[in-house]
């Protein structure tokens, strides 16, 4: 019963499993021509031998028909048989093959048995032999199709052996028994083979499925690795790989290739005020606008509110700049965040390939640099990276390099710019300003080397050296002069470092209240609490704190209220055009009033002309720092200046 089930399963295997049917037909189709060659040769051999004594129907027409049928089958195979089959086609071909094996086997064996009556003993042996050989030859060819092989054996060996057995001749009986036994053995072997074949196909199928799953998984991973999950735009990794690919393919391109980095202005407040869900909506909407903007712009999200664009196929610089302006314009339309209509803008930095940079990294770096300029000088607009920017970068790089190797103790010096109180016509103090003269670069502006020191992390050391030099230089100054000293946000961010500066104040022998430390508003952007802790250390010692460059940064009133300030310094940008610009005058007046109301000391920086001084006096400010009274001067000159002023005061 068990054996019978196995055989039945084997018989129906092809029907149940379309992949197996396909594999069986594919394997058999290679042998099929050989099978018909065997049939044709054996048919001709039998017909030839029986032609002299058998009727024409049996020795000519019927074999000719059989040969013709075989040839037609071979031709059909050569024409269509090698085409890939669908599942259904494979199953139906399997069925056809079984029927064909029965029909062909039946015709062949009936024909040979009919011939049997016309020959002699030799021809009868030939019939037996050829039937056996043909049948076994065909079985070997039918190896992948066990059903067909079984049917063939029954319709040939089965029929012929039965006939021989009932013939009563011992020789024939033994041959037929032998034939049946061999056929059975061949069938068993074939059965095993077809079972292994089915297993092999199933294994291959499983491997294919696993491979498909692995491929699917790896496709998914690849997508995830290259796509931004929030906006569905390509991500930073894809931005660079795509840019590199386009640079490679586009080296000989006729039209332009450029990179743009876009940063949203005013995105943080949206996130802070309306929540992250609203922020996400803004990013999704911006991504949609960018991706739909043009076929020539490949938009990606680099992270946060920063987007990277690869722009292609522009012809002139003007066209590129126009494109940049359109992209910025695109972002100015309000975004519906669900709870409100958010209004923002975006600044864009653009860099051209290969004019300004010829690798993906450099293009990005330069576009980012142009973005920095857009952000600081023309928010909401685009800036194209120029040769001038390139020179600036090169300067910054060489400053960075030299600063790293510099002998700061010897190369740094301090300069003093005096502050005058015009109402009493005397100097009240001085600001210490860092000066760096490098053997290779020569004199370098603090506006260049202070940011470089901040970038490289050497600012704390620089500040300490500067402060020691300042203390040393002012040791002999009169007690009534204050000394202002600039601190970087990076100094304020490290309370331990400020503690060290405080200890230098204590060791200096100079009264702490004479020291004013100047800070800028950006000191509080990163970590307000730590910055406050630093200021408290200085305040507790008795030092004073001034907020420098007031009016240029965020100029938040809450900073003025929440910080332990003693003084505000009005930035010189308001003084430059105070004579002609009503707005600058109004800002200066407001800050001076603010100081008066909050009882803060006020110094206006950058006063260069008598007219400016006059206006400032009219709006209530008398403490002035500027070239009109004093340019920054080196230690010895400053000492002499202090002495001369003291003499003047004594004479007065
Ligand atoms: P600041 O602290 O606002 O210093 C005032 C700057 O304005 C000085 O430039 C000074 O020379 C310049 N200035 C003063 N009056 C006038 C004027 O009438 N007209 C013009 N055109 N300029 C005037 P300087 O020395 O080049 O310093 C630039 C900036 O570098 C400083 O701005 C300060 O932010 C920074 N800095 C200077 N020394 C140090 C330092 O030791 N440590 C730190 N962290 N920063 C420093
Ligand atoms: Mg200052
Ligand atoms: Mg200043």
Please enumerate in sequence order all residues whose Cβ is within 8 A of that of 549, keeping only pairs 6 or more positions apart, or say none: 520, 521, 569, 571, 605
* pLDDT at site 650: 45
What is the average pLDDT across 99-121? 87
Strands 567-570 and 345-353: unpaired
Average pLDDT over residues 285-301: 95
pLDDT at 261 over 90: yes
Count Cβ atoms within 10 A of the Cβ of residue 264 and give its class: 0-12 exposed, 13-18 middle, 19 or more buried.
buried
**Could you tell me the distance, in angstroms and rounded to a whole number, from the CA of residue 129 to the centre of ligand 3?**
116
Nearest CA to ligand 1 atom 16: 606
pLDDT band at 97 (very low <50, low <70, confident <90, very high): confident
User: Which of 435, 468, 486, 630 has most ligand 1 atoms within 8 Å of CB, for mutation?
Assistant: 486
Distance CA 370, CA 361 (A): 14
Q: What is the mean pLDDT of the chain?
A: 88
* Sign of the alpha-carbon dihedral angle for 519, 524, 526, 529: positive
For 477, half-sphere exposure in the C-beta direction (CA atoms, 13 angstrom radius) is: 29
Instruction: List pLDDT tens digits, range 479-522.
Output: 999 999 999 999 999 999 999 999 999 999 999 999 999 999 88
- Centre of ligand 2 from the C-alpha of residue 431, in Å: 7
- List of domains in the chain: 2-209 (no CATH), 236-385 (3.30.70.270), 397-643 (3.20.20.450)
Q: Which of 432, 446, 454, 572 to mutate to test the pocket of ligand 1 (most atoms within 8 A of CB)?
A: 446
What pLDDT is stored for residue 407 in this prediction?
95
d(CA 373, CA 262): 12
622 confidence band (pLDDT: 50, 70, 90): confident
Instruction: State yes or no: pLDDT of 5 exceeds 60.
Output: no
How many other C-beta atoms are found inside a 10 Å radius of the C-beta of residue 321? 16
CA gap 325, 342 in Å, rounded: 20
- Residues pairing with 547 in the sheet: 519, 568
Nearest bound ligand to the CA of residue 433: 1
CA–CA separation, 169 and 146 (whole Å): 32
Bigger pLDDT: 601 vs 551 = 601
**From the alpha carbon of 569, which atom of ligand 1 is closest?**
3
Ligand closest to 569 (CA) is 3
Q: How confident is the model at residue 555 (pLDDT cuts 50, 70, 90)?
A: low
Tokens (6 digits) for 458: 């050497």
Angle, CA 258 vertex, CA 255 and CA 263 arms, to 5°: 150
Of the candidates 529, 571, 542, 549, which has an alpha carbon nearest to the alpha carbon of residue 482? 542
Rounded distance between C-alpha atoms, residue 177 and residue 110, angstroms? 19
pLDDT of residue 526: 74
Lowest mean pLDDT: which of 24-28, 204-208, 480-484, 633-637? Answer: 24-28
Taking a C-beta distance cutoff of 8 angstroms, is the pair 346, 265 a contact? Answer: yes
Q: How far is the CA of 483 from the centre of ligand 2 (A)?
A: 11
Nearest residue (CA) to ligand 1, atom 26: 446
Whole-number pLDDT of residue 651: 42
DSSP β-bridge partners for residue 249: none
Least confident of 69-83, 280-294, 399-413: 69-83
**430 CA from centroid of ligand 3 (Å):** 13
Phi first, then psi, for residue 169 (nearest 5°) are -85, 125
Query: Does residue 304 carry a pLDDT above 70?
Result: yes
Ligand 1 first shell, C-beta below 6 A: 417, 433-434, 445-447, 450, 463, 466, 486-488, 518, 548-549, 572, 605-608, 625-627, 632
Choice among 117-121, 292-296, 467-471 with the minimum mean pLDDT: 117-121
Six-digit token string for 373? 């300029």
Q: Model-level pTM?
A: 0.57
Q: Which residue, by CA, sits nearest to atom 20 of ligand 1?
A: 606
Report percent pLDDT > 90 for the chain.
49
Answer whether residue 303 shows pLDDT above 60. Answer: yes
The stretch 442-463 carries a mean pLDDT of 94
Mean pLDDT, to the nearest integer, of 523-542?
91
DSSP 251-312: TT-SSEEEEEEEEEESHHHHHHHH-HHHHHHHHHHHHHHHHHH-TTEEEEEEETTEEEEEEE
Phi (first) and psi of residue 552, to 5 degrees? -100, -30
Instruction: Give Cα separations from 337 to 181, 230, 341, 359, 469 (angstroms).
Output: 86, 15, 6, 38, 55
Evaluated on CA atoms 28, 30, 32, 38, the torsion sign reads: negative
* Protein residue closest via CA to atom 46 of ligand 1: 486
CB atoms within 10 A of CB 587: 19
Nearest residue (CA) to ligand 1, atom 11: 632
pLDDT for residue 141: 86
Instruction: Find out whether 606 and 576 touch, Cβ atoms under 8 Å.
Output: yes
Q: For a ligand 1 pocket test, name from 435, 604, 605 the mutation site with the most ligand atoms within 8 angstroms of its C-beta.
A: 605
Give the Å distance between the CA of 466 and the centre of ligand 2. 14
Is there a cis peptide before residue 354, judged by omega within 30 degrees of 0?
Answer: yes
Instruction: Using a CB cutoff of 5 Å, list residues around ligand 2, an ion.
Output: 486, 518, 548
Q: Is the pLDDT confidence value at 310 over 50?
A: yes
Distance from Cα 486 to the centre of ligand 2, integer Å: 5
Q: Quick one: tokens of 511? A: 């009264």
Residue 82 has pLDDT above 70, yes or no: no
Measured in Å, residue 433 CA sits from the centre of ligand 1 at 6
Whole-angstrom distance, CA of residue 436 vs CA of residue 117? 124
Query: What are the pLDDT digits (tens) for 352-390?
Result: 998 899 899 999 999 999 998 898 788 899 999 999 998
Which ligand is closest to the CA of 432, given by its number? 1
Q: Could you write out the DSSP letters of every residue in 561-582?
A: HHS--SEEEE-THHHHTTTT-H
| DSSP character string of 403-414 | HHH--HHHHEEE
């Amino acid at each position: 019963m068990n054996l019978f089930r196995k055989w039945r399963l084997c018989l129906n295997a092809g029907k149940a499993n379309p992949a197996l049917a396909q594999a069986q037909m594919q394997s058999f189709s290679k042998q099929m021509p050989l099978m018909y060659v065997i049939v044709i040769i054996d048919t001709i051999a039998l017909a030839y031998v029986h032609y002299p004594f058998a009727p024409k129907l049996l020795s000519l027409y019927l074999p000719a028909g059989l040969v013709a049928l075989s040839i037609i089958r071979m031709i059909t195979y050569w024409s269509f048989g090698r085409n890939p089959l669908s599942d259904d086609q494979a199953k139906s071909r399997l069925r056809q093959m079984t029927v064909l094996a029965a029909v062909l086997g039946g015709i062949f064996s009936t024909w040979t048995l009919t011939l049997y009556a016309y020959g002699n003993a030799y021809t009868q042996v030939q019939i037996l032999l050829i039937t056996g050989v043909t049948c076994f030859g065909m079985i070997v060819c039918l190896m992948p199709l066990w059903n067909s092989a079984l049917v063939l054996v029954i319709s040939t060996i089965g029929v012929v052996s039965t006939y021989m057995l009932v013939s009563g001749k011992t020789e024939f009986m033994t041959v037929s028994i032998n034939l049946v036994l061999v056929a059975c053995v061949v069938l068993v072997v074939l059965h095993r083979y077809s079972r292994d074949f089915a297993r092999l196909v199933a294994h291959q199928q499983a491997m294919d499925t696993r491979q498909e799953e692995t491929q699917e998984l790896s496709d998914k991973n690849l997508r995830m690795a290259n796509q931004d999950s929030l906006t569905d735009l390509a991500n930073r990794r894809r931005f660079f790989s795509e840019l590199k690919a386009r640079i490679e393919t586009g080296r000989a391109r006729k039209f332009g290739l450029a990179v743009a980095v876009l940063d949203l202005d005013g995105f943080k407040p949206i996130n802070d005020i309306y929540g992250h869900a609203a922020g996400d909506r803004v990013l999704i909407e911006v991504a949609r606008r960018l991706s739909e903007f043009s076929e020539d712009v490949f938009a990606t999200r680099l992270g946060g509110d920063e987007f990277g664009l690869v722009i292609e196929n522009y012809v002139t610089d003007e066209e590129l700049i126009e494109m940049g302006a359109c992209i910025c314009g695109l972002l100015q339309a309000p975004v519906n965040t669900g709870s409100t209509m958010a209004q923002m803008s975006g600044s864009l930095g653009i860099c051209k390939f290969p004019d300004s940079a010829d690798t993906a990294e450099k293009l990005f770096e330069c576009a980012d640099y142009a973005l920095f300029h857009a952000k600081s000088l023309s928010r909401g607009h685009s800036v194209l990276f120029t040769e001038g920017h390139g020179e600036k970068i090169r300067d910054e790089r060489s400053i960075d390099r030299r600063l790293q190797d510099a002998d700061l103790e010897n190369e740094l010096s301090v300069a003093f710019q005096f502050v005058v109180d015009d109402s009493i016509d005397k100097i009240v103090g001085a600001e210490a300003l860092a000066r760096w003269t490098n053997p290779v670069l020569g004199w370098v502006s603090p506006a260049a080397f202070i940011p470089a020191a901040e970038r490289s992390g050497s600012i704390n050391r620089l500040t300490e050296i500067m402060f020691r030099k300042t203390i040393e230089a002012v040791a002999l100054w009169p007690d009534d002069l204050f000394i202002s000293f600039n601190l970087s946000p990076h100094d304020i961010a490290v309370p331990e470092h400020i503690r060290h500066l405080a200890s230098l104040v204590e060791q200096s022998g100079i009264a702490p209240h004479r020291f004013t430390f100047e800070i800028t508003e950006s000191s509080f952007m990163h970590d307000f609490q730590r910055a406050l802790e630093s200021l408290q250390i200085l305040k507790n010692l008795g030092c004073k704190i001034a907020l420098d460059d007031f009016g240029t940064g965020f100029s938040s009133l809450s900073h003025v209220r929440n910080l332990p300030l003693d003084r505000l310094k009005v930035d010189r940008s308001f003084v430059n055009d105070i004579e002609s610009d009503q707005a600058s005058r109004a800002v200066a007046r407001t800050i001076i009033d603010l100081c008066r109301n909050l009882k803060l000391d006020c110094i206006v920086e950058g006063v260069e002309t008598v007219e400016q001084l006059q206006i400032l006096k009219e709006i209530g400010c008398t403490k002035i720092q500027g070239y009109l009274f004093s340019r920054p001067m080196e230690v010895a000159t400053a000492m002499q200046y202090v002495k001369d002023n003291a003499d003047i005061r004594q004479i007065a």
